[in-house]
Amino acid sequence: MVREMKFETDRLCIESWDTALGSEQEKQAFAAELAAILTPPVLKSLPEPMQLADGEAAISDWIAARHAESHVLTIRDGNASLIGLLILAPSGDAEYPPTVHIGYLFSEIVWGKGFASELIGGLVAWYQDLGEGTQLLAGVAHGNVASANALQKNGFKQVPDHSDPDTAMFRKDTQFNFDRLYSSTAHALGAPSSEIVEFFSTLAGDGLRVLDIGCGQGRDALFIARLGHSVVGVDIAPSGIKDLVSAGNRENLNVDGIVADITNFQPVGQFDVLLIDRTLHLLSADNRVAVLRRLIGHVAPQGWVIISDEPENMAAFKEVFDTEEALWKPHMETDEHLMLQHGAG
Ligand SMILES: C[S@@+](CC[C@H](N)C(=O)[O-])C[C@H]1O[C@@H](n2cnc3c(N)ncnc32)[C@H](O)[C@@H]1O
């Protein structure tokens, strides 16, 4: 982990167990603390590879095994007593979105006090603040209602596709902090995709009105405005809108920027093109469809809707247009792109 992981909640202090595993003496003291909480009822809730072996070296072997496969953090109470462990297994560095499998155990003497929920709440808050759009995954044995509740209380949802007969898998996606990214990096998202370039380069008509939803710093909006169209860009990240508007002013382009949350943003008037490039996937499934339904009401007759998004979201978007089949003519469709023209007018 690049950033040191340490956080506190009302009753808990969580930090890497490395701080307790310095000298030989510290290791021995920690092994004794750990042995006191790895009691049979606690071990019973852990998977087979995490069971304690027999013999004198059992605890130090257990520590070494966890060290080799995961990041482990101690959970201490207000008296600095060890009451549990938080175990994190991140996916490989190159994977996007970054994924972390989480597991935890608590000493049986603190069960039933709501610590699990408090721990998960603190963990989610830490990842939200990190702002890397991390996907948190937690497997819970079927029947472990307390753990399932602790996760659900903190916004985790069960993922049936990744669950199996023994384990229910829960997932929580934390948000990527685009505002921070745009504040520190110019042109953070690079050039427009070839599909967007192709569409707008061959689009007939001058001075069209384009609404770019989730425009970021304007990689699409500026390209489109340079073709002579007028663009309204909307984004929740103020630093993105600031960059868009400054670039538009510098080049004397017809660009307007609005800082707004698209889940409640109401556009004014009609647009010839509604562009939503890789933004809807950042909303909840219900919001994605609701936002799309609201916005397509602002597409002028003969106007266009251009959507780029995750392949798994496309079916729900197509359904929105299918319910108004007579109105929308498909223009282009790939796994990640959907382009339609408003048939009326
Ligand atoms: C992956 S970026 C894509 C940016 C731009 N469309 C592009 O392709 O370069 C997603 C953008 O959606 C914005 N966004 C996410 N949730 C939003 C919301 N609820 N309201 C407005 N913008 C949002 C983010 O700030 C970010 O700039």
The predicted pLDDT at position 91 comes to 84
Question: Which CATH number does 6-176 carry?
Answer: 3.40.630.30
Q: Is 225 helix (H, G, I), strand (E, B) or coil?
A: helix
The predicted pLDDT at position 2 comes to 52
Question: Could you tell me the CATH superfamily of domain 180-342?
Answer: Vaccinia Virus protein VP39 (3.40.50.150)
- Cα distance between residue 319 and residue 175, in whole Å: 26
The predicted pLDDT at position 344 comes to 62
* Ligand 1 geometric centre to CA of 154 (Å): 24
The predicted pLDDT at position 267 comes to 97
Which amino acid is it at 193?
Answer: S
Instruction: Indicate which atom in ligand 1 lies nearest the CA of residue 216.
Output: 27
- CA nearest ligand 1 atom 19, residue: 261
pLDDT per residue rounded down to tens, the chain (345 residues): 456 899 999 999 999 999 888 899 999 999 999 999 999 999 998 888 999 998 888 999 999 999 999 999 999 999 999 999 999 999 876 677 899 999 999 999 999 999 999 999 999 999 999 999 999 999 998 888 999 999 999 999 999 877 788 899 999 999 999 999 999 999 999 999 999 999 999 999 989 999 999 999 999 999 999 999 999 999 999 999 999 999 999 999 999 999 999 999 999 999 999 999 999 999 988 999 999 999 999 999 999 999 999 999 999 999 999 887 678 999 999 999 999 999 865
* Ligand 1 geometric centre to CA of 234 (Å): 8
- Cα distance between residue 9 and residue 7, in whole Å: 7
The predicted pLDDT at position 250 comes to 98
- Cα distance between residue 178 and residue 327, in whole Å: 35
- Cα distance between residue 313 and residue 135, in whole Å: 17
Instruction: Indicate which atom in ligand 1 lies nearest the CA of residue 178.
Output: 25
The predicted pLDDT at position 256 comes to 98
- Cα distance between residue 283 and residue 170, in whole Å: 18
- CA nearest ligand 1 atom 13, residue: 214
* Ligand 1 geometric centre to CA of 248 (Å): 18
The residue count of the chain comes to 345
The predicted pLDDT at position 161 comes to 78
* Ligand 1 geometric centre to CA of 212 (Å): 10
Distance from chain centroid for Cα 148: 20
Asked if the domains 6-176 and 180-342 are classified in one and the same CATH topology, the answer is: no
Which residue is listed with tokens 């994190």?
A: 88
pTM of the complete model beyond 0.75: yes
Which amino acid is it at 15?
Answer: E
- State the pairing for strand pair 271-277/299-308: parallel
DSSP bridge partners of 259:
235
Q: Is 61 helix (H, G, I), strand (E, B) or coil?
A: helix
Residue boundaries of the structural domains of the chain: 6-176, 180-342
